[in-house]
Amino acid sequence: MRVHVTELRNGDRLTNDTFNGYGLHVLSKGTVLGEYEISRLFQHQIDYVNIESRPDEQPPGRTLESDLNPKWLPAVQPVYEQSVRETEQLFMKALQNGMIDDEQVEQAFLPFVEQFQMERDIVSILLLANTKDAYTYQHSVQVGMISHYLATWLGYPEKEAARIGKAGFLHDIGKSRIEAEILNKPGRLTEEEFERVKQHTVYGYDIIRSSYIGQDDLAICALQHHERMNGTGYPHGLHGADIHPYAKIIAVADVYSAMISARVYQQKRDLLYVLQELHRMSFEELDAHTTHTFIRHMIPNFIGKRVKLSSGETGIIVMTHPSDFSGRSSAWTTGSST
């Protein structure tokens, strides 16, 4: 199985000889990894290694692949689209009844997440699955998935990470009560319209709290996912210490998904620019540890992706810099051509 070096554990055993970007031998096949060996991999800026399968993680008959290929899309696109359709139905029920059903939530969200429980290349997942249609519902699915991944990267146990993913999936349910002409407006919102949109956090809190008795963490995430560490967020202008830890995770996922998505009034932004913007926001608005953990795990996923350079040439990213949280020096390429 192929894993990112940040996910290695003491006792993992290499299944291949490992070389750095200059072709120098670093560790031999069969090496049992400890702190010293893992540190060497970091020093040589190695992002991924192959290790023997872990009995507690590897399902029978399945191998972990870090790179997705075109054959992946036809099998997964229907699952993604079904999740988006189920999410639309969930929003409609929330509008009609003021409540949601947990069984319907599980039906909408879990199949797509389970499809990628072993996959870490969420850059490819989001690039291939994302469309301009049904932004609000796609965004909910994406934020749930990203929140789940990010929680695991932060060290949360799987059961808790799944709950954080669920909270991320439900974070925008309050938008079911916001008029479609405002949500889909192709131009800039007026001040009154923006104030109306901001109410979705309160609406979401009410819907979830009514639907999940005694499970306030889910409701609080809907209420607080637009709060910011420096107190500039809404609806209550909370500062960092007063924001729920789950909401800090969902805030990062929410910003990332929103910025990479194509909407009626916004084109997709360059993916490296998005990471740079997240890095900038981590100094005042977003939780720094959460944001930097996200960036650190996302940057290696750019390896193998085609990029267009400022010179007009195109190339393939073959190496990333593990300490560059801004993403500025991550696009080292090979095979460039006009």
Collapse the DSSP code of 308 into the 3-class scheme (helix H, G, I; strand E, B; otherwise coil) and give the result: strand
Q: Residue 93 CA to chain centroid, in angstroms?
A: 26
What CA–CA distance (Å, rounded) separates 29 from 239?
49
pLDDT at residue 317 in the model: 65
pLDDT in tens, 127-170: 655 655 678 898 999 999 999 999 999 999 999 999 999 999 99
pLDDT at residue 130 in the model: 61
Residue 251's nearest CA partner among 136, 206, 259, 88 is 259
Superfamily of domain 67-268: Hypothetical protein af1432 (1.10.3210.10)
% the chain with pLDDT above 70: 74
What CA–CA distance (Å, rounded) separates 227 from 234?
5
> Would you say 130 and 98 are in contact if contact means Cβ atoms under 8 Å apart?
no
Instruction: Output 51 or 333, whichever has higher pLDDT.
Output: 51
CA 179-82-64 angle, 5° bins? 125
Whether 304 has a pLDDT exceeding 80, the answer reads: no
Pairing verdict, β 306-308 and 332-337: unpaired
pLDDT in tens, 53-85: 876 554 333 222 334 444 555 666 788 888 889
Determine how many CB atoms are found less than 10 A away from the CB of residue 230.
13
Q: Which CATH architecture has domain 1-64?
A: Alpha-Beta Complex (3.90)
Q: What is the pTM of this model?
A: 0.73
Whether 333 has a pLDDT exceeding 60, the answer reads: no
Domain boundaries, the chain: 1-64, 67-268
Between the CA of residue 266 and those of 176, 187, 188, what are the distances in Å? 21, 9, 10
What CA–CA distance (Å, rounded) separates 29 from 213?
53
pLDDT at residue 214 in the model: 86
pLDDT at residue 120 in the model: 54
Whether 322 has a pLDDT exceeding 60, the answer reads: no
